[in-house]
Chain A
Amino acid sequence: MQLHYGWDEFKNVDFMSFLPIILPVIAIGFILVLIALIDLYRHRKTRKNILLWTLIIIFVNTLGPILYFVIGRKDSDRI
């Protein structure tokens, strides 16, 4: 089993065969992250734990932006 891949082996991978299929999946995840980050940036004065939320949005895959929209935005309304 091969675990380590070098840079030159990227040339052997046929990207065009699966890129059109994978691309929408990546794009939708990216749009979610982008909307969440833009919203966080626009309300950076009133939110708490901005750094924490940024890390969650970027690194927790797809669930991060959802958690931010559901929980992260509600906290600020009470202030």
Chain B
Amino acid sequence: MNNFTVLAKKEFVQMVREFKVIWLPLVFIFLGLTQPVVSYYLPSILKALGGGQGITIDPSMAAQKGGEVLASTLGSQFDQLGVMIIIVSMMGVVQSDKANGMLAFILTRPVTVGSYISGKVISNYLFVACSVVLGYLVSYLYVILLFTRVDFVDLLVALLFYLMWILFIVSFTTMISTIFNSQGIIALISIVFLLGCRIVVGLSPVLDNVNPASMSKHAMEVLILGTVNTDVIWSVISTIVLSALTILVTNIWISKKKFNNE
């Protein structure tokens, strides 16, 4: 048993104790369910509530393809509420350790900062990724049930692209959680920055190449069009580089802080 597995195990114990292991997957399943069900019933909801006179619902508009619905699950549920929930659930990841002195205690042991951070990031990432995959699969089942089939290869490729974006979310939140001390500020900065990233996607092609959030756009494109844009390679590279950079900043910050204290 090396340090990394011990620390990762500690993270999982913490998650079980906070009930995170139950509610985060449930929330993502809920988000995944909502989009197909709402888009399936949208015509009847409009008919019942929209003020009946003179409104006709174009039947061709209602016939959405399965891939489009699945893409809008990613784009309008996971990318808004889902990202906020990931950030809120992860804002204390290093901050709570700092607040109750656990970080200083762990670093007095023969544990490198690197294995501490990688234990944190990887265990949290695996868990968040499992929740997202679960919600995505439930959404997929509902799309098959209510709409048309989605190609399974497209599904997997889109999922992989989306998980890259999740990786950046997790590492960025860890970095902010290391730098700042108040949970409110951590949540505010992460939410504003990451949702800002998501909003500016598609404004300019140059910006998209260095924007990790464009992975989400590529995932949606794969689901809707069934083809992979060749620009995706730049986004993959920039997402990996930026995630590595945030982890590096976290590493440097913790090591420096330790020197300042002692």
Say yes or no: A25-B20 contact (C-beta < 8 A), given A62-B27, A66-B27.
no
Q: Cβ of B27 and Cβ of A32 under 8 Å apart?
A: yes
Looking at the assembled complex, report how far the CB atom of B128 sits from the nearest CB atom of chain A, in whole angstroms: 14
Supposing A1-B51, A28-B29 touch, asked if A18 and B19 sit within 8 A by C-beta, the answer is no
Q: Cβ of A21 and Cβ of B26 under 8 Å apart?
A: no
A2 / chain B contacts, CB cutoff of 8 Å: 52
Decide if the interface of chain B is mainly helix, strand, loop or mixed.
helix
Scan residues 21-70 of chain A and give those whose CB is less than 8 A from a CB of chain B: 21-22, 24-25, 28-29, 31-32, 35, 39, 62, 65-66, 69-70
Q: Considering the chains assembled together, what is the distance between the CA atoms of A74 and B18 in angstroms?
A: 9
Given contacts A1-B51, A21-B40, contact A69 B19 (CB under 8 A): yes
Given contacts A35-B22, A65-B23, contact A70 B37 (CB under 8 A): no
For the complex, count residues of A whose C-beta is within 8 A of B.
Answer: 20
Instruction: Report yes or no: A69 in contact with B37, Cβ–Cβ below 8 A.
Output: no
Complex Cα distance, B38 from A21, in Å, reads 11
Say yes or no: A25 contacts B33, CB within 8 Å.
yes
With A29-B30, A73-B18 known as contacts, the answer to whether A66 contacts B85 (CB < 8 A) is yes
Decide if B26 touches A39 in the complex (CB within 8 Å). no
Q: How large is the interface on B (under 10, 10 to 19, 20 to 34, 35 or more residues)?
A: 20 to 34
Chain A residues closer than 8 Å to B246, beta-carbon distance: none
Mark B114-144 against chain A: 1 for CB-CB distance below 8 A, else 0.
Answer: 0000000000000000000000000000100
Q: Do residues B29 and A35 form an inter-chain contact, with CB atoms below 8 A?
A: no
Q: Return chain B residues, CB-CB under 8 Å to A70.
A: 88-89
Query: Inter-chain contact count A-B, CB under 8 Å?
Result: 50
Report the minimum CB–CB distance from A22 to chain B (whole Å).
7
B19/A35 in contact, CB under 8 A = yes
Q: Is the CB of A35 within 8 A of B23?
A: yes
Write the chain A residue with the least CB distance to B183.
Answer: A74
> Considering the chains assembled together, what is the distance between the CA atoms of A73 and B29 in angstroms?
23
Are A1 and B19 CB-contacts (below 8 A) given A25-B37, A66-B85, A70-B88? no
- B92 is an interface residue with CB less than 8 A from chain A: yes
Given the complex, which residues of B lie within 8 Å of A62, measured CB to CB?
27, 30
B85: which A residues are within 8 A, CB to CB? 66
Query: In the complex the two chains form, is B26's CB within 8 Å of A32's CB?
Result: yes
Shortest beta-carbon distance from A28 to chain B in Å: 5
Specify which chain A residues have a CB less than 8 angstroms from the CB of B96 in the assembled complex.
74
* Complexed CA–CA distance, A21 and B146 (Å): 9
* Interface bits A1-31 vs B (CB < 8 Å: 1, else 0): 1100000000000000010011011001101
Cα–Cα, bound, A21→B33 (Å): 10
Q: State whether the Cβ of B41 lies closer than 8 Å to any Cβ in chain A.
A: yes
In the assembled complex, the Cα of A29 lies from the Cα of B34 at a distance in Å of 11
With A and B bound together, what is the CA distance between A31 and B29 in angstroms?
12
Q: Cβ of B26 and Cβ of A69 under 8 Å apart?
A: no
Sorted from nearest, which 5 A-B pairs have the closest CB atoms?
Answer: A1-B51, A28-B30, A25-B33, A1-B52, A70-B88
- B binding-site residues for A, Cβ under 8 Å: 18-20, 22-23, 26-27, 29-30, 33-34, 37, 40-41, 50-53, 85, 88-89, 92, 96, 142, 145-146, 183
